[in-house]
Amino acid sequence: MENVLAIKNLSKNFNKVKALDDVSFELKKGEILGIVGESGSGKSTLAKVITRIVKPDGGNILFKGEDFTKLNSAKLREYRKNVQMVFQNPNSTFSPRMNIGDFLCEGMLNFKLASKKEALKKAKEYLELVKLPTDIMERLPHQLSGGQLQRVVIARALTLSPEVLIYDEATAALDVSVQQDVLKLMYDLRKSCDNSVIFICHDLAAVRLVADRIIVMYNGKIVEIVDSKNLLSESKEEYTKKLLGSVFEVK
Ligand SMILES: Nc1ncnc2c1ncn2[C@@H]1O[C@H](COP(=O)(O)OP(=O)(O)O)[C@@H](O)[C@H]1O
Ligand SMILES: [Mg+2]
């Protein structure tokens, strides 16, 4: 299968903390790649380095074969459009006085993908795609629930037709009852929107439900990469089994 992203020997230190330590993997076209690991294992740093919010100290990130650490500004803009991220807390993504319709149009207008009129029409289509009523376009963020806001954030990321979508603990701040719905939405959208997904989550049980392959991280390093289906039989690492163990204890 074709690789959309190839991550090679990434490293990032914060003072003496090795947040990323020689991390290498590939994201295949159309797959959902799960990333698990306890808090502080480097998952968010990895997402921020891939989306270029944070600069790596070393290593390379190839997007469809092109090294984006060496891209010029026009190419970098294209890369930013193509690699979108959804964060844990939807509230932090909104400006309190911008209505949902304008929020959804912003990216399309910034990247000149549509006129204002076309953008508004598309915004409604994306709201339908994430199963929200289109009459919320006029509303302000505080008039929506956390689950609805997270759907809006996902819809906005999709308005740019990204090839890669990174969810960083995107369900963690939501009520448990809503988490499953958003998880299912993410799973279904991957097919309808034809993109590749990196799904970061500390909860291995949730990751197993949606991911094709799972990367297990610990202390900035990749412990192992396993097929989701064969997680139990294929995993060779004690640490993964410990994460699995904590899942089974919940029963
Ligand atoms: N901006 C920062 N400044 C200093 N240390 C940081 C910063 N971001 C992350 N770290 C440290 O890097 C390590 C990995 O953090 P993070 O990537 O947020 O892990 P995770 O998302 O898996 O919980 C942690 O030890 C964290 O304290
Ligand atoms: Mg994190």
Order of strands across the sheet with 83-86?
Answer: 83-86, 164-168, 196-200, 32-36, 213-218, 221-227
**HSE, side-chain direction, 13 A CA sphere, residue 129:** 24
At 176 the pLDDT is 83
Query: Token match 């003072």: residue?
Result: 15
Give the Å distance between the CA of 40 and the centre of ligand 1. Answer: 6
Pick the residue whose CA is nearest to atom 25 on ligand 1: 40
| Superfamily name with CATH number, domain 3-95+164-248 | P-loop containing nucleotide triphosphate hydrolases (3.40.50.300)
CB 36 less than 6 A from any atom of ligand 1: no
CB 14 less than 6 A from any atom of ligand 1: yes
pLDDT tens per residue, the chain (251 residues)? 689 999 999 999 999 999 999 999 999 999 999 999 999 999 999 999 999 899 999 999 999 999 987 778 888 899 999 999 998 888 888 999 999 999 999 999 999 999 999 999 999 999 999 999 999 999 999 999 999 999 999 999 999 999 999 999 998 888 888 888 888 888 999 888 889 999 999 888 889 889 999 999 999 999 999 999 888 788 888 888 888 776 544 43
Ligand 2 is an ion; residues with CB less than 5 A from it:
43-44
Query: Token match 């799972």: residue?
Result: 214
At 250 the pLDDT is 40
Q: What is the dihedral of CA 178, 86, 112, 120, to 10 degrees?
A: 10
Query: How does pLDDT run across 108-125, given as a tens digit for each residue?
Result: 999 999 999 999 999 999
Measured from the alpha carbon of residue 43, the closest ligand is 1
Give the Å distance between the CA of 219 and the centre of ligand 1. Answer: 10
- CA angle 53/216/86 to nearest 5° reads 35
At 249 the pLDDT is 46
The span from the CA of 57 to the CA of 54, in Å, is: 10
Pick the residue whose CA is nearest to atom 5 on ligand 1: 14
At 247 the pLDDT is 54
Give the Å distance between the CA of 46 and the centre of ligand 1. Answer: 10
Query: How does pLDDT run across 183-226, given as a tens digit for each residue?
Result: 888 899 988 888 999 999 988 888 988 999 999 999 999 999 99
